[in-house]
A and B are shown apart, each in its own frame.
Chain A
Amino acid sequence: MHQTFDAALGINLLHANQAGADHNREHFDEWGITCLNVMSSPGAGKTVLLERTLEALSSELKIAVIEGDMTTELDAERLRQYGVPVIAINTGRSCHLDSKMVAGGIHRLAHDYNPSDFDLVLVENVGNLVCPAEFEVGEHAKVALLSVTEGEDKPLKYPVMFREANCLLITKMDLAPYLDVDVSQIEANVRQMNPHATIIPISGKTGEGLEAWLDWVRSQCDRKIALSPQLSIYG
């Protein structure tokens, strides 16, 4: 007789990735590091944003970058000019970083440096508006970029990314006057699914919005320090 049995699992499909992400976050917490996961479609300006950020903050915060852009070391080379450790993860043909890849980056950081010296780790995810939203890597906050050239409708079309973002940067604002784009409509579309994100229009070229972004990054690091049980190490 053919008899069928049933086993209830009720396990999240991504639970292995989630467990890895939680583990990474524990390391960051132990070392007093704030980790930001920076995501966008290809060419929205993640690397330029990191360049401007390193330029402005590397004297006041100890920063490392985990660089997940595919196949080449070009972005990593660009960022190393700012004198911070840049750990390039070769993601191969993968369309997103997962917690295991980032764990590899964290171990390299811990191997080559004293991780407790660092305040901030910026993870530059693979350019993609779809899957990075589902794969946590151990970050404390998610940053999404959307450039004005991509169109107002993208938050409606890729809602999970924009729902999950804690901070949304509307990039390439210097181009807005030349385009048929309504920036307030981008904001309104994001607000439909994400009432709480900090939204900052920004231009890496003119510096518009840069101070607001840097303040947001500082606030993430401050909050981390305030929450840290090892207050003493920050003197």
Chain B
Amino acid sequence: MHETDMTKALIITVKDWWESQLDRPKIESVHLIVGQFTCVEPVSLQFAFEVQTRNTFLEGAKLVIQETPLIAFCHRCQQDYAPEIGLQYACPDCQSPMEDIRSGRELKIDRIEYADNSAVTTGKSQV
């Protein structure tokens, strides 16, 4: 279950950001970009996030995962194509191997949405 480790890394990174904010805002959602050509399963990540954020500063925060498709570029055909993961990675037109990956390898914390602290009451949450 490496999603557990990934979630740990995610929480640490978000915590670094949160602690750098003077007013320690209430985080409402964390937005990830996860490529389909990675070893990350979004459902497992959601589950791990839910479990691991309980009773922390991220309690109740939503994890929003945007998946990006696997897109490769074929140099011979000079065009993008979408390999079929699990079945076919070479260019469907000329059978050149998948060389350049244009999208699908992302594993990124894109952005955080947070509420203005003066407007929202926060509990005493600690990690």
- B82 contacts chain A at the CB level, 8 A cutoff: no
Question: Within the assembled complex, what's the spacing in Å between the Cα atoms of A131 and B25?
Answer: 33
Question: Within the assembled complex, what's the spacing in Å between the Cα atoms of A134 and B41?
Answer: 13
CB distance B86 to A12 under 8 Å?
no
- A195 contacts chain B at the CB level, 8 A cutoff: yes
CB distance B2 to A130 under 8 Å?
yes
Residues of chain A within 8 A (CB-CB) of B110 are 8-10
Residues of chain B within 8 A (CB-CB) of A192 are 88-90, 97-98
- B109 contacts chain A at the CB level, 8 A cutoff: yes
CB distance B112 to A193 under 8 Å?
no
Residues of chain B within 8 A (CB-CB) of A87 are none
Main SS of chain A's interface residues?
Answer: mixed
A155 to chain B, nearest CB (A): 9
CB distance A7 to B12 under 8 Å?
no
CB distance B99 to A195 under 8 Å?
yes
B93-112: CB near A (< 8 Å → 1, else 0) gives 00001110000000111111
- A156 contacts chain B at the CB level, 8 A cutoff: yes
Count B interface residues, CB 8 Å: 38
A102 to chain B, nearest CB (A): 14
Residues of chain B within 8 A (CB-CB) of A234 are none
Question: Within the assembled complex, what's the spacing in Å between the Cα atoms of A6 and B25?
Answer: 11
CB distance A133 to B111 under 8 Å?
no
Count A interface residues, CB 8 Å: 36
Residues of chain B within 8 A (CB-CB) of A3 are 115-116, 119
- A95 contacts chain B at the CB level, 8 A cutoff: yes
A7-32: CB near B (< 8 Å → 1, else 0) gives 11111111111000000000000000
Known: A5-B116, A194-B97. A11 touches B2 (CB 8 A): no
- A157 contacts chain B at the CB level, 8 A cutoff: yes
Interface positions of A (Cβ within 8 A of B): 1-17, 94-96, 98, 130-131, 133-135, 156-157, 159-160, 163, 191-195
Interface positions of B (Cβ within 8 A of A): 1-2, 5-6, 9-10, 12-13, 17, 25, 28, 32, 37-40, 83, 85-90, 97-99, 107-116, 119-120
Q: 22 pairs across A/B with beta carbons < 8 Å? A: A2-B115, A2-B116, A3-B116, A4-B113, A4-B115, A5-B113, A7-B111, A7-B114, A9-B13, A9-B110, A12-B107, A12-B108, A13-B10, A13-B108, A13-B109, A16-B9, A131-B2, A134-B40, A134-B107, A135-B2, A159-B37, A192-B88
